[in-house]
Structure 1
Amino acid sequence: MSLPSLNLHKLMIFNTAHCKNHNHLSYYKTKTKNLGGRCCSSAIAINTPSSLTGVSGIRWGSTKLQGAREEMEDDVVIVKSSADGLDAFSFAAVFDGHAGYSSVKFLRDELYRECVTALQGGMLLTGKNFNVIKKALQDAFQTADEKLINWLETSGEETESGSTATALFINNDLLFISHVGDSCAVLSRAGKPEVLTGSHRPYGSNKASLNEIRRIREAGGWIVNGRICGDISVSRAFGDMRFKTKKYEMLEKGVQEGRWSPKFVSRIKFSGDLVTVCPDVFQVDLGVDTEFILLASDGLWDYINSSEAVTFVRNQLRKHGDVQMACEALGQVALDRRSQDNITIVLADFGRTNWESVPIQQQNIFFELGQAFATLGIVSFGIWMTSMLGS
């Protein structure tokens, strides 16, 4: 059914400290831990059973951890399915901001709203016409981006900020992914990882990267050391107006700062946006062998590969069956490996697997060594601090 605009506010679930209870959906509050000076925030349901199970039977967990960055620019939104919303589809999205938090702050409210409107309140999802769904989601991303850029211009808040976004609409049978940027979604099928998204980066030799490099050059841009115009290392994102509506202003500023010569700039003619918000859209059929899906920012995937992550989560669920604990433990692994980035993770267990009957998998030897060295380093640091305080 089509959802009235007044009801959209009631459907938003944010992993922030400002959440409240509503009648129809499970809202979340923030739990914060101190991890050696870093912040870990986890979404905990406050009006549902501890299993965090939605109408569709999916159990959710999420966590946000601040790495070595000065500011936490990631965020996560989870909207669990309800009997009267989106025809039992749940929504989850991970946002990875850059040049400030403003774009993420706007998108965590607006993107879901635009997607629901474009999908006619969920009717298009159940219609299962992929081309129609794809067009609707692409339109939603474009509309949200236009509104974001207008808001950045009028508010003056961190006008050069931007954000990646990877969003899921999911029920027991189908998964729709809309993806811009370098976060990643990985599905576990009977313990085997299935990488569902490719990173939009202007470097590398994979097909996705080569397509991005070609698109940027055809639009009149150039790439220096894996960065568009020597500036940004992600090629699809929300915001980043200097690569969209303010491209020529960017060139003028570069001349004033001595980055480029007037002669160099005079030869540049743009024919399109250098950074685009057009998402890759995928449909994935979920069979009986699908166990869970991991959605995370690159702060996780730059330090843990998909196979390691799937094995680790399976072993965690085998031990205790707690989705939230497994999610937090996986984020801690990335911190232990000295991840320099912020880390945001969503874990959705489809509820099909009897985890107690799953055998423990052997973790990669290098993974175990890395964990051991990380633990040794923490213990050694603690001993050193104790001796310093005692002297």
Structure 2
Amino acid sequence: MNKQPTNAKPRRVFAHVNLLGTTQLHHRNPYVVAFWSAMFPGFGHLLLSKYLRAYILFLWEIIINLRAHVNLALLHTILGEFDAAKHVIDIRWSLLYIPTFIFSVWDSYRSAVDLNQQYILAARENAPIEPFSIGPFGISYIDKRSPYVASAWCTLTPGLGHIMLQRIHHGVFVLFWWILVVYFSNILTALHLTFYGAFASARDALNPQWFLNIPSLFFFCVYITYVNSVESNKLFDAEQSQFLQKNYQSAGFPFPGGTEIRGAGMFVVSVFQQSIQVELAVTALEQEGVAKSEILAVPVQKEQPGKGLFDSMHSASGESVLDLPMILGALATLFGCIYGFRLAWGPVLWGIIAAVLGFGVGFVLKLLFLKKKKASSHQSEVVIFVKCDGGKLERIERLLHDNGAQGVSFVAPSPS
């Protein structure tokens, strides 16, 4: 039987990092993916990082929906104005809309199932991850970001959160279309008039065909930014664990208590949250003259029962707390905007009210579900053991603290 060369190219990799962004494999809920495809064709494929297919379907949705007046027909239908809906719809374009819409939902669901299987195989293969890319036009690298900060930037302007996460082409694409949708919908003018109490004028200023794109576009952008941030943090942990296991887990490390080192030297033990500070610490130790063989770095996944409701830079529950709130928020906002064309306060204010209510209801339901499930988070930490002479103890301790160690202790070898 022919043996595979040790330097053979891996069959499956977790991620690809380049100057335009990071393309990453991770687990997705197929039903969530299918829902976002139903809200706006192309969104489900964006969740799957199938960017080319997503951009094609997105452009198709914009063009065909605009030509067929699907949003206007939806508005009149939900308001019970069926004759008006029949009047505004363009049959020549609308019949083109249906097959591709169904394909978008079906293909995103099917692709999510397939990619989940590919992710499992990639995880088992554990191929090396390239964390850094530099070129004439910039620098891209895997780093940790707060999911809530990234989502906050996307809340202010969709696309900014993607750029923060170094997904450049995705962010530019979203930002470009957000500007177009906002401009042609006249929502900023309507928002201005709403704040002045001119609800009728605000309603008249809006272009419903473009305006009804905003709920799905806004909530999806915030949601995908949150998901990408969490998964990017997990990718950082996975890559750094590979690095530490390869470079700082020597089989010849002199463990405390070993007969060959009794009575010789001391051991410094420190704990870090998994971050770039870990690598700064171990490389600083080498600069101090500590050999790699005398450094042992052990990544640890610490489970915290009952604390898995919220993700952070250093912990993730595996259950996105924002999936249901964003889904209900998008749906509620859509209906709030539509019925706002008939209610006194206008579509902008009712859209905002519906967004808050939908998000709030979804958030409460998700929290109740996670508490009932007793979700736990997995916090990533790194324990570092360093063998050093007694004269270097204070310097090593200070170096570890300066590089973000959460705690430092000392272990003396067993006496002879």
Bucket of the pairwise TM-score, normalised by the shorter protein = under 0.3
Structure showing the higher helix proportion among its residues: 2
TM-score calculated relative to the size of structure 2: 0.25
Structure showing the higher strand proportion among its residues: 1
Structure showing greater radius of gyration is 2
